[in-house]
Amino acid sequence: MLLIIEQCLNGLQFGLLLFLLAAGLTLVFGIMDLVNLAHGSLYMLGAYFAATFAAFTGSFVLGALLALAATLVVGMVLEVIAMRRLYGRDHLDHVLATFGLILFFNELVRLVWGPEGLSLPLPPWLLTSVPILPGISYSAYRLSMILVTLAVAGFLYYLVMRTRIGMLIRAGASNREMVGALGVNIKLLYTLVFGIGAALAGLAGLMQAPILTVQIGMGENILILAFVVTVIGGIGSIRGALVAALMVGFIDTLGRAYFPDLLRMVLSGAAAATAGPALSSMLIYLLMAVVLVVKPAGLFPASGK
Amino acid sequence: MSRSLTPRTVAIVLMVAALALLPLYAKLSGNIFLLTLFTRILILALAAVSLNLILGYGGMMSFGHAVYLGIGGYAVGMLAHEGIYSGFAQWPVALAASALFALVIGALSLRTRGVYFIMITLAFAQMAYYVLSGIARYGGDDGLTIYKRSQFFPPLNLSDKMQFYYVCLALLYAAIYLVWRIVNSRFGMVVQGVRSNELRMRAIGIPTYRYKLVCFVIAGTLCGLSGALLANHTDFISPATMYWTRSGDLIVMVVLGGMASSFGPLFGAVALLVLEEVLSGITEYWQIILGPLLLLVVLFARGGIDGLLGSLSRGKEAGHG
Amino acid sequence: MAEPLLQVERLAKRFGGIIASDDLTLSVAPGELHAVIGPNGAGKTTLIAQLTGQLPPDSGRIYFAGGDITALPMYRRSMLGLARSFQITSLFLDLSVLDNVALAVQAHAGHSFRFWTDARSEPELRTPARAALARVGLSAREDRRAAALSHGEHRQLELAMALAGKPRMLLLDEPMAGLGPEESARMVTTLQALKREFTILLVEHDMEAVFALADRITVLVYGRVIATGAPADIRANQAVRDAYLGEQEAVHG
């Protein structure tokens, strides 16, 4: 019983992490019609920056904040130098160009930080367990991840739905030329949106760093999951990204936890040991395939342009 | 194909001649590495030719094409592991398995468009990657060593590097010819029209889905052949062959070489792999150069090598590739 | 009237708050040239989109040659002989002019699962394609890339492609859009020649052309039919004048 609750919370936490990534992706795609494969690289940079700044300042929180700022800056610079030349082009061009950026960033990180990867240790006050229900404790850090992500989700909702900037973002999504004609500085708006997307990716990267990994190429694996989430949710829809991310988070986490046991009932021990993790990785893709067959534009397709 | 002696024709002729003579040069100069490198180039060029059919001519941007390299390769590897070394058994299985997977993947994926199509093809490739990583019997993550190459009737011996090179070369040229014929046939015209304007295709009365699917299956099968060759070449097969970044490499070859052109994929494969060799000789961090280079190609040389050659030609070619 | 070739019954379509088709009923007799006119936003292109199968109606029925085609997919309707030209030019831009028309011929020449023979060398495709190009006056440009043509030539090519499939009925969506006076006159002559052989539903803004060509006219305002009849009757109809022609006359002076 304990274990199920813990797994569910893990699923929630992973789902929310995916949401951070997917929200950035879907924002950028929905508003600038840009397919950005290098989103995973920004995630990686967030983690590397956090590890470096935390070691430098001695404070986890300070390191995290600095990393966030740094990723935001990198995102905006990237937008100005490279991304804005891709707007309006074929998606194939986006895929190729950003694929090239992945190669570039992976090598750059290897050049600057070496091939070994880094670690980001947690401060003692986050290493504890917090009782959440009578008799059930949960990792304080994971709990704070959930809270932070929920706060960010809430902030995003507020930003997009309630502020003037959010209105511009939504308007820009449905009609770029019109918004430009209204005298709004579209270029600045796009740079800002891309920056927000980058910061979200960086936040996801730095948050998972203490519990998962800080290494080269970490972006690619999770990028695919993020894309799967955006596709299931419907490209351009933040609400869709949240629903899909939670679905994927739960299925992936619970699948990894319980699927191998299910397999053990059918296969021999050794076969199940290798097949288990591999097949549970597959569950997400199966989900996406099923969704796309039934609803080719995702669960919450954004209204067409 | 143009009748006049355009720079493009000259480049193709030179390439064909150079590739035919390469093994002799390698033997004479003792540079066996060159032979190995170019065998690999030929095999991947074949995969690129198959991708060009759906991507360049058909406009279907599949980001999971490397999955067929894996399927073809594993067909050979698995059968070899079970003691079946005959190429006459292995290769048809490789082709049939690739065709079957392409049929299933295509049937599901082609219901979607644009970036959704990209993602779902990617997802299927990743699924295959994970499934094969999980089969302990065939090596799982570590891959499978192949102790004996595909056996055919003597004197054909694929373990002989020169023979193997010429087999790959012959198959590559056969594939280029096959694709050329397909692309200019009625079927090919439909495929090209679908890339150009799918709505119009349906408006004039063509049920486009089935044509895209058949095209997809043909491309997958051809790539499966390439996979069988690759497994023989490296005497090894692993799930890494299907990882999505390998699909990315294939796309780069097709675009770099020039999409919707017969020899473009070959130029692209040569360019990319030779560039990788040269750059990695200069610096360990060669991808730092390759990455931005790709970006520049996309921005400024979209037609690839074939496009550059074409713009040097002065012939008035009326819109066929 | 004899059995109509095209019968549209109470077609309705909304996009959120916008009513594109409102209880739309019209019919086209065989051999007739029936024009549909109306101010911008009247739903004319939406009507064509529903007739060809590009857009499903919310309610209503469409009958062609006696059969209910309301649920048929686009390519099926084309096979039945309902051909369309597009208002916003929709061609195979990277193929040659002749290739474009030959594709339209090919679509109606059985299945296209032929992988070996060079399609460009097949007389059964090329000859009818050339004939269609000759009808619209584009023969001289057959080898050019479609993208290289002028706007007026694009409109001609649109028409040639609609003709190539040997249709029973043509749905022409503003074939004169963006044409200058000389090109328009040429298009009117072409259409007059076509009138004798094909049933035509013509959506147009160019009033001179409409009154010169139409046997009957239907007037659409906000997706609703406000009048149908012979050109002279439409000209005299007060409601029509108020809604539409009045503006036009004011503009033309």
Separation between Cα atoms, residue A173 and residue A185, nearest integer Å:
14
What are the strands of the beta sheet with C18-28, ordered from one edge?
A: C18-28, C6-15, C59-64, C67-68
pLDDT 10s digits, B35-55: 999 999 999 999 999 999 999
Contacts of the segment A112-119: beta carbons below 8 A, 24+ positions apart: A113/A48, A113/A52, A115/A216, A117/A213, A117/A214, A117/A215, A117/A216, A118/A47, A118/A48, A118/A51, A118/A52, A118/A214, A118/A215, A119/A51, A119/A214
Q: How many CB pairs under 8 A join B and C?
A: 110
Residue A279 has pLDDT above 60, yes or no: yes
- A 107-136: CB under 8 A from B: 107-108, 110-111
Q: Which chain A residues contact residue B292 at CB under 8 A?
A: 100, 104
Question: Which residue is it, tokens 């030929």?
Answer: B42
Contact: A95, B130; criterion CB under 8 Å: no
Contact: B285, A111; criterion CB under 8 Å: yes
User: Which of C112, C159, C172, C173 has the highest number of chain B CBs within 10 A, making it the mutation to test binding with B?
Assistant: C112
Separation between Cα atoms, residue A219 and residue A39, nearest integer Å:
8
Q: Which chain B residues contact residue A106 at CB under 8 A?
A: 287
Q: Grade residue A177 by pLDDT with cuts at 50, 70 and 90.
A: low
Average pLDDT over residues C158-170: 91
Higher-confidence residue: B5 or C77? C77
Q: Does C80 touch chain B (CB under 8 A)?
A: no
Average pLDDT of the residues of chain A: 84
Which pLDDT score is estimated for A304?
40
- Going from N- to C-terminal start, the domains of chain C cover 1-81+167-253, 94-166
pLDDT 10s digits, C86-116: 888 889 998 999 999 999 999 998 888 999 9
B66 touches B132 (CB < 8 A): no
Distance from CA of B193 to the nearest CA of C (A): 6
User: Which of B63, B67, B104, B127 has the highest number of chain A CBs within 10 A, making it the mutation to test binding with A?
Assistant: B127
DSSP 8-state code for residue A128: S
Residue-wise burial string across B148-169, b where 16 or more C-beta atoms lie within 10 A, e elsewhere: ebbbeeeeeebeebeebbbbbb
Q: Grade residue C42 by pLDDT with cuts at 50, 70 and 90.
A: confident
Q: Which chain B residues contact residue A102 at CB under 8 A?
A: 291
Residue type, A260: P
Question: Which residue is it, tokens 């070489």?
Answer: B257
Q: Which chain B residues contact residue C116 at CB under 8 A?
A: 181-182, 185
What is the Cα gyration radius of chain C?
Answer: 18
Q: Grade residue A305 by pLDDT with cuts at 50, 70 and 90.
A: very low
Residue C41 has pLDDT above 80, yes or no: no
Residue A91 has pLDDT above 90, yes or no: no
Contact: A93, B298; criterion CB under 8 Å: yes
Percent of chain A with pLDDT over 90: 25
Q: Does A267 touch chain B (CB under 8 A)?
A: no
Q: Which of A73, A114, A89 is nearest to A32 (CA)?
A: A89
Q: Which chain B residues contact residue C52 at CB under 8 A?
A: 203
Separation between Cα atoms, residue A183 and residue A173, nearest integer Å:
16
Count of helices and strands (H, E) across chain B: 12, 2
Which pLDDT score is estimated for A240?
87
What residues of chain B score a pLDDT lower than 50? 1-2, 315-321
What are the strands of the beta sheet with C33-37, ordered from one edge?
A: C82-85, C169-173, C199-203, C33-37, C216-221, C224-229
Query: Which residue stretches of chain A are H helix?
Result: 2-32, 39-57, 60-81, 91-113, 140-162, 164-174, 176-181, 186-208, 218-233, 238-266, 269-294
Q: Does A81 touch chain B (CB under 8 A)?
A: no
Burial class (CB in 10 A: 0-12, 13-18, 19+), B49: buried
A226 touches A25 (CB < 8 A): yes
- ipTM tops 0.90: no
Separation between Cα atoms, residue C177 and residue A229, nearest integer Å:
44
Q: Which of A173, A168, A166 is nearest to A26 (CA)?
A: A173
Who among B111, B136, B302 is closest to A274 (CB)?
B136
- Going from N- to C-terminal start, the domains of chain A cover 2-215
Which pLDDT score is estimated for B321?
40
Which pLDDT score is estimated for B38?
95
Who among A85, A104, A220 is closest to B288 (CB)?
A104
Q: For the ranges A283-292, B128-137, C213-222, which has the lowest average pLDDT? A: A283-292
Tokens representing residue C9 in the block: 């019954």
Separation between Cα atoms, residue A40 and residue C30, nearest integer Å:
61
Cα(first)–Cα(last) distance of chain B, in Å? 8
Residue A179 has pLDDT above 50, yes or no: yes
- C 124-153: CB under 8 A from B: 125, 143-146
Which pLDDT score is estimated for A290?
82
Please tell me whether residue B165 adopts helix, strand or coil conformation.
Answer: helix
Q: Does A158 touch chain B (CB under 8 A)?
A: no
Which pLDDT score is estimated for C43?
86
Which pLDDT score is estimated for B3?
56
User: Which of C85, C115, C138 has the highest number of chain B CBs within 10 A, making it the mutation to test binding with B?
Assistant: C115
Q: Which chain B residues contact residue A92 at CB under 8 A?
A: 61, 255
Which pLDDT score is estimated for B317?
47
The residues, ordered by sequence, that sit 6+ positions from C13 with a Cβ below 8 Å of its Cβ are C19, C20, C21, C43, C46, C50, C55, C57, C58, C223
Residue C38 has pLDDT above 80, yes or no: yes
Separation between Cα atoms, residue B93 and residue B72, nearest integer Å:
8
pLDDT 10s digits, A136-148: 778 888 888 899 9
Separation between Cα atoms, residue B12 and residue A209, nearest integer Å:
51
C160 touches C136 (CB < 8 A): yes
CATH superfamily of C1-81+167-253: P-loop containing nucleotide triphosphate hydrolases (3.40.50.300)
Contact: B207, C75; criterion CB under 8 Å: yes
The per-residue DSSP string of B261-311 comes to -SSHHHHHHHHHHHHHHHHHHH-TTTHHHHHHHHHHHHHH-TTHHHHHHHH
Tokens representing residue A30 in the block: 């929905």
Q: Grade residue A172 by pLDDT with cuts at 50, 70 and 90.
A: low
Residue C156 has pLDDT above 60, yes or no: yes
**Chain centroid to CA B136:** 28
Q: Grade residue C247 by pLDDT with cuts at 50, 70 and 90.
A: low
Residue type, B24: L
Question: In chain C, what's the furthest Cα-to-Cα distance?
Answer: 62
Q: Grade residue A1 by pLDDT with cuts at 50, 70 and 90.
A: low
C6 forms bridges with which residues in the sheet? Answer: C28, C64
Separation between Cα atoms, residue B176 and residue B267, nearest integer Å:
12
Average pLDDT over residues C167-183: 90
Q: Does B104 touch chain A (CB under 8 A)?
A: no
Cα angle at C135 between C129 and C141, to 5 degrees? 65
Q: Grade residue A180 by pLDDT with cuts at 50, 70 and 90.
A: low
Q: Which chain C residues contact residue B208 at CB under 8 A?
A: 75
The residues, ordered by sequence, that sit 6+ positions from B98 with a Cβ below 8 Å of its Cβ are B68, B71, B72, B75, B220, B221, B223, B224, B225, B227
Question: In chain B, what's the furthest Cα-to-Cα distance?
Answer: 60
User: Which of B192, B200, B213, B316 has the highest number of chain C CBs within 10 A, making it the mutation to test binding with C?
Assistant: B200
Q: For the ranges A231-245, B235-249, C69-83, which has the lowest average pLDDT? A: A231-245
Q: For the ranges A108-122, A167-181, B191-205, C41-55, which has the lowest average pLDDT? A: A167-181
C202 touches C120 (CB < 8 A): no
Separation between Cα atoms, residue A31 and residue A194, nearest integer Å:
10
Average pLDDT over residues C124-149: 92
* H or E segment and range at residue A129: strand A129-133
Residue A176 has pLDDT above 70, yes or no: no
Q: Which of B165, B203, B235, B193 is nearest to B25 (CA)?
A: B165
C173 phi and psi angles, rounded to 5 deg: -100, 100
Residue A65 has pLDDT above 50, yes or no: yes
Task: Answer positive or negative: Cα dihedral of C48, C53, C54, C55.
Answer: positive
The per-residue DSSP string of C68-86 comes to E-TT--HHHHHHHTEEEE-
Higher-confidence residue: B83 or A126? B83
Q: Does C88 touch chain B (CB under 8 A)?
A: no
Separation between Cα atoms, residue A133 and residue C121, nearest integer Å:
78
